[in-house]
């Protein structure tokens, strides 16, 4: 009975009633998965909830470090062979034992779900053979040397062969095939309303705490925080940055936050001679694309006060960035600093490049994709305008935004990147490598930045015989992209969870809300 309990008049003094001491918990999430099938759609909301019911060979801890999951250990036997030793005594929810055959089956299913809107082929496609050595040993073989097998295995959900063979996506959605090894068992999914889980008391890892977990999608930021304050849910992801000061002051609420691996960056047309949204000061299209000049790109980067954006626009929920991945991530450059704010130097660089009076440009941004995306886009325009690059702002929902961006209809755009594997190989390959249909690289390179030296390094890094060599090549390629300013890195988002006091959640860099990690405070 939450009725009539508190007649509190200020938002700070809300009575957080509800099922505070029952062993049930309600989770309010900003997004809903598109299916329960763990291999249907490679997107965050699906992947994170699959982690409650299923396990992976390699798990990712809160900082995206790779830790043992269903595999207890792994080693690289040869440059192109990785061996995984599986955990013994693990049982599926129906009581049958987990074996290497399940792993082999998973590798054949994960990339081949019919009509998948985004499959895991990227991760299973490199495997030439999955060899079952014994019930608890598998060897993953690739054609060339491959250094990143643990990373790839840390995104692939292992499903039961018995229940997964011939199972369709619908069979998973209905619960028929939702038999995992994970800490929670699947109960039901009422689309748009809730997903319900119960405890798996026989879990091999840390014992799950809640008898029943209900996940509710509440996409509106204000409504989600309101639901938390009203006691409808116990924990929410992504509270709006603007609500943080209020939540911090609230004695009934605690917060968890950490730096994300999601980079927000500016992408721009550095390839074409005439770009659709670049004009001279009179409004006529410029014959020469100023963005091809490194000095102009440097000026743009120096014109942006990343710290002010982080503090004022993002309410502290951003960490200024000078590269693709946070410096502490394996493969990133540990000591690279973000570009400073230096409008005087920016103006000088512009003048040196032949634009003493600047030029006109339009920045495009999404308005429903990243935290405060619309506001940041405006702030960037403000910053550029103040050094002489008169900038118009156009924002739109992510649907038209991304399709127009990929169709190269913009000159300057604000985009974000999140790495599922928690290392820089994805952005290096898909974002800053040359757009090439033959090799499949540069699929997200919406500015068509291209540097052959970088391409070579990236290609070599993915065939590196060992991890050390891979790190060296990744750092080298990152340095090239950043020195060229192929993109302008702005900041990493900070992920925040807000929960009622008495709960504990270790904030994750990958934005995932993993229900098994929500605990009551000891």
Nearer to other proteins, 69 or 366 (CB): 366
Nearer to other proteins, 265 or 505 (CB): 265
Nearest-angstrom CA–CA distance, 243 and 228: 12
- Examine residue 170 and tell whether it contacts other proteins (CB under 8 A): yes
- Examine residue 6 and tell whether it contacts other proteins (CB under 8 A): yes
Interface residues for other proteins in 273-302 (CB under 8 A)? none
CA distances from 225 to 16, 241, 253, 256, 334 (A): 13, 11, 11, 14, 36
* Total residues interacting with other proteins, rule: CB under 8 A: 106
Which residue stretch of 75-83, 222-230, 449-457, 495-503 sits at the interface with other proteins (rule: CB under 8 A)?
A: 222-230
What's the maximum distance between 2 C-alpha atoms anywhere in the chain? 74
Which residue stretch of 12-20, 73-81, 143-151, 283-291 sits at the interface with other proteins (rule: CB under 8 A)?
A: 12-20
Judged by CB under 8 A, the residue of 20, 24, 34, 76 near other proteins is 34
Nearer to other proteins, 195 or 333 (CB): 195
Q: Find how far residue 262's CA is from the centre of its chain.
A: 5
How deeply is 156 buried, as exposed, middle or buried, from its count of CB atoms within 10 A (0-12, 13-18, 19+)? buried
Nearer to other proteins, 137 or 382 (CB): 382
- In whole angstroms, the minimum distance from the beta carbon of 436 to other proteins comes to 8
Partnered with residue 158 across adjacent β-strands are 55
Phi and psi (nearest 5°) for 213?
Answer: -120, 130
Interface residues for other proteins in 340-359 (CB under 8 A)? none
- In whole angstroms, the minimum distance from the beta carbon of 390 to other proteins comes to 8
- In whole angstroms, the minimum distance from the beta carbon of 5 to other proteins comes to 6
Judged by CB under 8 A, the residue of 21, 89, 115, 283 near other proteins is 115
Q: Which contiguous run of DSSP H or E holds residue 161?
A: helix 161-164
- In whole angstroms, the minimum distance from the beta carbon of 30 to other proteins comes to 11
- DSSP assigned state of 421: S
Nearer to other proteins, 163 or 224 (CB): 224
8 Å CB contact between 472 and 478? no
Judged by CB under 8 A, the residue of 23, 77, 94, 117 near other proteins is 117
- In whole angstroms, the minimum distance from the beta carbon of 206 to other proteins comes to 29
Interface residues for other proteins in 234-273 (CB under 8 A)? 240, 242-246
Phi and psi (nearest 5°) for 508?
Answer: -110, 145
Nearest-angstrom CA–CA distance, 183 and 518: 12
Q: Which residues contact 21 (CB under 8 A, 6 or more apart)?
A: none
Nearer to other proteins, 135 or 193 (CB): 193
Partnered with residue 25 across adjacent β-strands are 213
- In whole angstroms, the minimum distance from the beta carbon of 437 to other proteins comes to 5
- In whole angstroms, the minimum distance from the beta carbon of 355 to other proteins comes to 17
Interface residues for other proteins in 360-389 (CB under 8 A)? 367-368, 374-375, 377-379, 381-382, 385-386
Nearest-angstrom CA–CA distance, 44 and 401: 20
Nearest-angstrom CA–CA distance, 245 and 239: 11
Here the tokens at position 103 are 């792993």
Going by C-alpha positions, the residue among 183, 186, 292, 313 that lies closest to residue 240 is 313
Nearest-angstrom CA–CA distance, 194 and 213: 10
Buried b (16+ CB within 10 A) or exposed e, 482-501: bebbbbbbbbbbbbbbbbbe
Buried b (16+ CB within 10 A) or exposed e, 269-280: bbbeeebebbbe
- In whole angstroms, the minimum distance from the beta carbon of 233 to other proteins comes to 8
Location of structure tokens 């730096």: 259
8 Å CB contact between 356 and 350? yes
Nearest-angstrom CA–CA distance, 394 and 164: 46
Nearer to other proteins, 28 or 182 (CB): 28
8 Å CB contact between 302 and 353? no
Interface residues for other proteins in 406-465 (CB under 8 A)? 406-407, 417-421, 426, 429-431, 436-437, 440-441, 443-444
The CA-based dihedral angle spanning residues 366, 367, 370, 373, taken in that order and rounded to the nearest 10 degrees: 90
Here the tokens at position 159 are 């499903």
- In whole angstroms, the minimum distance from the beta carbon of 385 to other proteins comes to 4
Which residue stretch of 101-109, 141-149, 395-403, 454-462 sits at the interface with other proteins (rule: CB under 8 A)?
A: 395-403
- In whole angstroms, the minimum distance from the beta carbon of 428 to other proteins comes to 11
- In whole angstroms, the minimum distance from the beta carbon of 307 to other proteins comes to 11
- In whole angstroms, the minimum distance from the beta carbon of 302 to other proteins comes to 17
8 Å CB contact between 363 and 392? yes
8 Å CB contact between 515 and 349? no
Judged by CB under 8 A, the residue of 23, 78, 133, 222 near other proteins is 222
- In whole angstroms, the minimum distance from the beta carbon of 205 to other proteins comes to 27
Interface residues for other proteins in 45-74 (CB under 8 A)? none
Judged by CB under 8 A, the residue of 118, 328, 456, 483 near other proteins is 118
Judged by CB under 8 A, the residue of 40, 265, 341, 410 near other proteins is 40
Interface residues for other proteins in 172-211 (CB under 8 A)? 173, 190-194
Nearest-angstrom CA–CA distance, 281 and 300: 17
- Examine residue 121 and tell whether it contacts other proteins (CB under 8 A): yes
In the shown chain, the binding pattern of residues 72 to 111 toward other proteins, with x for contact by CB under 8 A and - for none, equals ----------------------------------------
């Amino acid at each position: 009975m939450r009725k009539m309990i508190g007649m509190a008049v200020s938002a700070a003094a809300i009575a957080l009633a509800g099922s505070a001491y029952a062993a049930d918990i309600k989770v309010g999430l900003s997004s809903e998965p598109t299916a329960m099938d763990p291999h249907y759609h490679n997107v965050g909301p699906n992947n994170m909830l699959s982690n409650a019911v299923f396990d992976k060979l390699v798990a990712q801890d809160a900082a995206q470090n790779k830790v043992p999951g269903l595999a207890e250990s792994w080693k690289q036997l040869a440059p192109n062979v990785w061996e995984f030793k599986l955990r013994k005594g693990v049982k599926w929810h129906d009581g049958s034992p987990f074996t290497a055959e399940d792993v082999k089956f998973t590798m054949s299913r994960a990339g081949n779900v019919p009509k998948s809107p985004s499959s895991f082929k990227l991760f299973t496609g490199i495997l030439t053979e999955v060899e079952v050595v014994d019930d608890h040993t598998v060897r993953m073989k690739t054609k060339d040397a491959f250094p990143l097998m643990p990373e790839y295995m840390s995104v692939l959900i292992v499903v039961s062969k018995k229940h997964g063979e011939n199972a369709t996506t619908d069979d998973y959605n209905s619960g028929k095939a939702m038999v995992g090894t994970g800490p929670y068992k699947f109960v039901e999914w009422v689309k748009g309303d809730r997903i319900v889980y119960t405890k798996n008391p026989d879990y091999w890892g840390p014992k799950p705490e809640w008898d029943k977990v209900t996940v509710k999608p509440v996409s509106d930021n204000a409504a989600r925080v309101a639901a938390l304050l009203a006691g409808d849910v116990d924990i929410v992801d992504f509270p709006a940055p603007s609500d943080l000061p209020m939540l911090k002051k609230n004695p009934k609420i605690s917060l968890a936050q950490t730096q994300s691996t999601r980079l927000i960056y500016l992408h721009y047309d550095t390839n074409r001679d005439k770009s659709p949204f670049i004009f001279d000061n009179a409004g006529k299209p410029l014959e020469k694309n100023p963005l091809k000049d490194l000095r102009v790109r440097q000026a743009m980067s120096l014109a942006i006060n990343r710290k002010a954006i982080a503090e004022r626009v993002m309410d502290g929920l951003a960490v200024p960035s000078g590269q693709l991945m946070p410096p502490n991530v394996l493969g990133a450059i540990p000591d690279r600093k973000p570009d400073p704010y230096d409008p005087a130097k920016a103006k000088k660089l512009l003048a040196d490049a032949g634009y003493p009076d600047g030029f006109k440009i339009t920045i495009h941004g999404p308005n429903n994709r990243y935290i405060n995306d619309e506001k940041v886009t405006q702030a960037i325009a403000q910053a550029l305008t103040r050094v002489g690059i008169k900038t118009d702002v156009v924002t739109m929902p992510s649907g038209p935004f991304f399709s127009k961006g990929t169709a190269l209809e913009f000159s300057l755009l604000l985009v974000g990147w999140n790495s599922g594997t928690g290392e820089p190989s994805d952005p290096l390959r898909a974002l800053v490598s040359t757009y090439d249909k033959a090799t499949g690289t540069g699929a997200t390179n919406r500015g068509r930045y291209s540097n052959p030296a970088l391409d070579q390094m990236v290609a070599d890094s993915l065939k590196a015989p060992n991890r050390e060599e891979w790190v060296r090549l990744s750092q080298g390629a990152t340095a090239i992209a950043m020195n060229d300013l192929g993109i302008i890195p702005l900041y990493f988002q900070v992920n925040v969870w807000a929960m009622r006091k008495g709960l504990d959640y270790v904030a994750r860099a990958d934005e995932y809300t993993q229900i098994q990690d929500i605990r009551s405070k000891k």
